[in-house]
Structures are given as C-alpha cells and as structure tokens.
Amino acid sequence: MAENEIYEDIKQCIADGDEAWACELAQQGLDQGLSALDLIENGFTPALRAVGDRWDSGTIYLPEMILAADAMKSAMRVLQPSLQKERPGAQEAKSCVVGTVKGDIHDIGKSIVGALVEASGLNVIDLGTNVETARFVSAVRESGACVVGLSALLTTTMAEMKSVIAALEKAGLRGQVRVAVGGAPVTQAFADEIGADGYAEDGMSAMHLIQNLAGGRDPAPGESVSKVA
C-alpha cells in the first residue's frame, strides 16, 4: 500500500471509530517500514483532530468522538513498542488523573471528560467513582500526573474537592499538579474558593481547560496530538 493510501485509510478508520482496523493499519504501516512516529504524526493525530473539529462544530454525535478516541488508543498500543525503540528514553504523554470524589458514585460526567481528554492526547488515569482522597494523592504521586480532574454531582459531596486539594498540598504535590473541578452544582466561584486551578461547565470546555492546564511543550510523541480541536 502506498504511503498516502495508508494515511487515507487511517483517517477513515479513526472517523469510523474502527478499533480492529486501526490496529491492523498500525501494524501494516510498521510492517511496510514506516516509523511509528510517522504513522502517529501524519496519520493518527490529524485523523483524530479532524474528528475533534467535527464534534466541536456540532456536526457529529458524542459516541463518534469516543469511538474515534478508543480506536486511536488501541492503535497507540500497537505503536508504543516501536516508538520506544525509535526514540529510547522519550517521555510518554503527560498524564491526567480523573475521578469522582468520595461519597459520590456518579460516573458519566467524569467519564465523558476522561474520554475527551484522552482523545486530546493526554494519558488518562481514571480512578472511577467514590474515590478516597488518599487514592487521588497516591495516583498523582505514582503517575507524575500534571493535572487532576475532580468530579461531583451532589452538593453534599462537592466539599470533598477541597479535601483532595488540601491532601495534595500536604503531600507536597500541589506544585506539580493543577486541579480542575466540575459537576452540576460546581461554579467558578466555588473553584476559586477551594483553590482549584480551573472549572469547566461541560465536556468540551473541560477538555480545553485540562489541555491548557497540562500546558508545557515537552517533545513527547503524543504531545502534538494534544492540539485536537
């Protein structure tokens, strides 16, 4: 298959959210001698960015975005070993920890944000729901995450966000990690009051916020992906 043909197919498989095809194409690209970095930068990244643009402009449904991101993630797993060989010691993509705070088992808002952030090229560590404060701290410490996203749907549980920020401070991690908060009852004023670094009202603005908070210009392979949308 010609080089431009495989990039066309990659564009299509990401638009279709076809995981199996995405993995197949990643392997095929490597087999015919293309570098993993080429495949990412000329194939998968622009393909996902195109899907992100279409979601941002309101022309596709959310599941199309999520399926595209999942297909991208699977292809990355195929490419990762070659990528490490091509660029030994290269940093992995930056990490973002997300979770719904203690006492709250509402999952969907946090999961939508997690999927979109992942689609933007960050590595997402999803701790799930009803997450103990200490687990946020240990996850940030272990992953070296640069952003943590806290979610709460209930007025009774949003106060937990403050505890997580305090615990991160106590653990000496607050300098390394920026905190984003969200959920129906949360406001910018509340975010300011508890000392969070940012607040977003819906999935798309949360994704942009976390991208901005992740900031930095490390030449990580996944980094250029973070310009999606």
Partner 1 sequence: MKPTLSLLDREAIQQIHQSALELLQNVGVKIGSEPAEVLLRDAGHRIDAGTGAVHFSPDLVEQAVAKLPPRVLLAGRDVQRDALLGTGKVHTCLDGQGTFALDAESGKRRPSTLADLVAATRLSDALDSVDLCWPAVVPGDVPQSVRTLVESAVGFLHTSRHIQHEIKDPEEAPYLLEMLDILLGDRRRHAERPIFSVVCCPVSPLQHEAEMTTACIELARNDVPICLMPMPLAGATAPVTLAGTLAMIHAEFLSGVALYQLVRPGLPMILGIGATILDMRTGLYSAGAPELSLLNMAMTQMGKHLGVPVMAQGIVSDAKTPGTQAAFEKAVNGLSAFLAGSDVVNGLGLLDSHQLLALEQMVIDDEIVRLLRRVERGFDVDADHLMLDLIADVGIGGHFLGKRRTLEHLKKGEHFQPQLSFRGSYQAWQESGYDEVAAARERVGRLLKEHEVLPLAAEAEKGLRELILRADPALRFDLRTARAGG
Binding site for partner 1 (CB under 8 A): 58, 61-63, 103, 105-108, 112, 154-156, 159, 184-185, 187, 189-190, 202-204
* Shortest Cβ 20–partner 1 spacing (Å): 22
* Shortest Cβ 9–partner 1 spacing (Å): 27
- Compute φ and ψ for 27, nearest 5 degrees: -65, -45
User: If we measure between CA atoms, which residue out of 71, 61, 59, 89 comes closest to residue 23?
Assistant: 71
Nearer to partner 1, 80 or 133 (CB): 133
Long-range contacts made by residues 210-213, C-beta under 8 angstroms, separation at least 24? 210/96, 210/113, 210/117, 210/120, 210/122, 210/147, 210/149, 210/180, 211/117, 211/120, 211/122, 213/146, 213/147, 213/178, 213/180
Strands 123-126 and 147-151: unpaired
Nearer to partner 1, 50 or 159 (CB): 159
* Shortest Cβ 38–partner 1 spacing (Å): 33
Nearer to partner 1, 42 or 157 (CB): 157
Nearer to partner 1, 143 or 157 (CB): 157
* Shortest Cβ 10–partner 1 spacing (Å): 25
